[in-house]
């Protein structure tokens, strides 16, 4: 509550004084005059919070749009110089781009990792360091100097930062010149704040922009197509061992002394903790919980009171937003005409961590997170319906028929959530629910197959494309991403490959809602 009050006071002050600042556009040259302190960290939180709220409300769609929008970036948009070039970021760059931009605007020091090697560098078998089995070791860093051009710094970040940057031992590298850029935090409202990063070891990074009183952690993330989306933390973010460094972390404060960078050590950080890496059990108020339940309980502003109708409605609205984000991504791919190209002879070595056209236009990781969201909805419904039957006291429902009310919400939200597949074809949320494991992640497939519509002729009679679609069913059956599996099979060998031996899981929840079809 105190944090929100401070945010509101700061925002009111900056709004009143904004026009005066707006007269002086920032130079593109860095000018380090200040040091990181609690005041700047609070301003950084407000900066991130504003961007997240704006993205959630559809006021901007890309990193560049958000940073140039006075609605999304009221603190600094008017100070952007004309010479500020277009800003691009994917998921890993995103938190670094935001931190660098804020540091530049406030004349603060900034440093970042530029090179790493696998922790098991003596192994003969080298792998993609974004998914290295034992994590990575930082071998090179770069700091910003007075006079550095912000355009060059942001471009260098885009070129050098990847999810491999986060894949380092979270318990080490806190004091040497090759320090870890971030540090793992405790699970509470003082530690996880707007600007906190969440690293999914399967290769995705997001940034916290708000925490609801009921313990939901709201995130923004960027994608290879340059889009930014607003999502909620949950099981779609995997956990990891401490050596991999997955989970919640904050940027490590740094200071300049005699032009030398000094990182703040872990022992000096009030919110440093390794609790998220423990195997469990996780206990809150004497109750054993899963890690995800523990996070929500710990982040709640008091005892969690489940309002099942409100929460289900909000969850479905967010799910619709995820589908809209996917619609944008598929449309971008379709507009390039990539679906008209010949299908490559084999799939990438790993479909979740490829490069080039596949990284830009395929959606296997996005689709996996979407499936995880449906799975989480089913678990939520099972929990609240069970709590309703057993009259659990933290369920706030005053109606007469919970299942009926939930069903009506689902049907209404589904009907309102429309996806335009082609100019003549549209589907709704319920269609995706029923055909979730039919939607194709393959960018070389037509729009209809990308959305699981298999009974139309709009895709033509390309037998090779249809053969690929059928061959990829085992991969579509996967929910949890695995960046260690081999997927570079051809269309003939893929169906019988080990990676395809996955049964379609049952995550449909229409029976729970007693929907008659």
The mean pLDDT of 83-93, rounded to a whole number, is: 95
Of the pLDDT bands very low, low, confident and very high (cuts 50, 70, 90), residue 148 is very high
The reply to whether 313 and 279 lie within a common domain is no
User: Alpha-carbon distance 42 to 63, whole Å?
Assistant: 21
C-alpha distances out from residue 85 to 28, 134, 229, 431, 507, Å: 10, 38, 22, 41, 45
The reply to whether 288 and 345 lie within a common domain is no
Q: Which domain holds residue 322?
A: 308-500
The reply to whether 190 and 44 lie within a common domain is yes
| DSSP assigned state of 150 | H
Contacts by residues 388-395 (CB-CB < 8 Å, ≥ 24 positions apart): 388/308, 394/303, 394/304, 394/305, 394/306, 395/305, 395/306, 395/308
Q: Would residue 507 count as lying in a domain? A: no
pTM for the whole thing? 0.81
Of the pLDDT bands very low, low, confident and very high (cuts 50, 70, 90), residue 4 is low
More confident residue, 474 or 281: 474
The reply to whether 175 and 271 lie within a common domain is yes
> At which of 266, 299, 332 does a domain end?
299
- H-run or E-run covering 116: strand 111-118
Pick from 189-193, 299-303, 452-456, 499-503: least confident: 452-456
The reply to whether 281 and 430 lie within a common domain is no
Q: Would residue 508 count as lying in a domain? A: no
Based on the structure, what is the number of domains in the chain?
Answer: 2
223-256 tens-digit pLDDT:
887 889 999 999 889 899 999 999 999 999 999 9
Q: Would residue 205 count as lying in a domain? A: yes
The reply to whether 240 and 127 lie within a common domain is yes
User: Alpha-carbon distance 290 to 278, whole Å?
Assistant: 12
The reply to whether 328 and 219 lie within a common domain is no
The reply to whether 369 and 449 lie within a common domain is yes
The reply to whether 267 and 316 lie within a common domain is no
Q: Would residue 99 count as lying in a domain? A: yes
More confident residue, 434 or 306: 434
pLDDT above 70: residue 118: yes
The reply to whether 241 and 318 lie within a common domain is no
The reply to whether 266 and 313 lie within a common domain is no
Residue 266: CB atoms within 10 A of its CB come to 20
Q: Residue 406: which of 507, 323, 293, 509 has the closest Cα?
A: 509
């Amino acid at each position: 509550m105190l944090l929100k009050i401070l945010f509101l006071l700061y925002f009111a002050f900056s709004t009143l004084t904004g026009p005066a600042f707006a007269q002086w556009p920032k130079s593109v040259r860095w000018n380090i005059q200040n040091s990181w302190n609690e005041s700047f960290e609070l301003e950084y939180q407000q900066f991130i919070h504003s961007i997240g709220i704006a993205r959630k409300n559809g006021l901007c769609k890309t990193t560049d749009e958000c940073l140039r929008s006075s609605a999304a970036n009221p603190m600094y948009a008017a100070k952007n110089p004309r010479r500020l070039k277009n800003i691009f970021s994917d998921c890993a760059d995103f938190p670094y781009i935001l931190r660098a931009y804020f540091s530049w605007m406030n004349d603060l020091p900034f440093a970042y990792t530029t090179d790493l090697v696998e922790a098991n560098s003596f192994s003969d078998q080298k792998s993609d360091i974004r998914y290295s089995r034992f994590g990575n070791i930082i071998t090179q860093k770069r700091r910003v100097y007075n006079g550095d051009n912000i355009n060059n710094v942001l471009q260098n970040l885009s070129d050098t930062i990847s999810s491999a940057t986060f894949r380092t031992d979270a318990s080490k590298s806190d004091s040497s010149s090759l320090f870890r850029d971030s540090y793992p935090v405790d699970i509470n409202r003082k530690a996880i704040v707007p600007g906190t990063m969440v690293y999914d070891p399967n290769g995705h990074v997001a940034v916290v922009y708000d925490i609801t009183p009921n313990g939901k952690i709201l995130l923004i993330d960027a994608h290879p197509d340059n889009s930014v989306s607003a999502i909620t933390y949950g099981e779609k973010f995997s956990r990891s061992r401490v050596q991999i460094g997955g989970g919640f972390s904050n940027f490590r404060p740094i200071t300049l002394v005699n032009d030398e960078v000094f990182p703040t050590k872990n022992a000096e950080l009030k919110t440093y903790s390794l609790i998220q890496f423990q195997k469990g059990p996780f206990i809150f108020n004497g109750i054993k919980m899963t890690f995800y339940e523990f996070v929500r309980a710990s982040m709640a502003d008091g005892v969690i009171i489940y309002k099942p109708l409100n929460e289900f409605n909000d969850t479905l609205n967010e799910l619709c937003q995820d589908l809209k984000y996917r619609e944008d991504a598929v449309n971008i791919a379709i507009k390039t005409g990539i679906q008209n190209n010949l299908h490559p002879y084999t799939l990438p070595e790993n479909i979740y961590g490829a490069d080039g056209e596949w990284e830009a236009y395929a959606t296997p990781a996005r689709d996996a997170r979407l499936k995880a969201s449906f799975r989480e909805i089913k678990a939520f419904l099972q929990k609240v319906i069970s709590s309703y039957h057993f009259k659990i006291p933290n369920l706030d429902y005053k109606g007469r028929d919970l299942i009926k009310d939930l069903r009506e919400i689902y049907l209404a939200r589904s009907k309102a959530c429309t996806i335009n597949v082609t100019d003549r074809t549209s589907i709704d949320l319920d269609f995706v629910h029923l055909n979730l494991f039919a939607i194709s992640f393959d960018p070389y497939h037509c729009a209809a197959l990308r959305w699981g519509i298999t009974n139309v002729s709009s895709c033509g009679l390309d037998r090779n494309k249809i053969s690929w679609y059928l061959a990829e069913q085992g991969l579509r059956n996967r929910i949890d991403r695995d960046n260690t599996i081999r997927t570079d099979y051809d269309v003939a060998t893929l169906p019988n490959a080990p990676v395809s031996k996955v049964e379609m899981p049952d995550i449909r929840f229409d029976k729970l809602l007693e929907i008659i079809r």
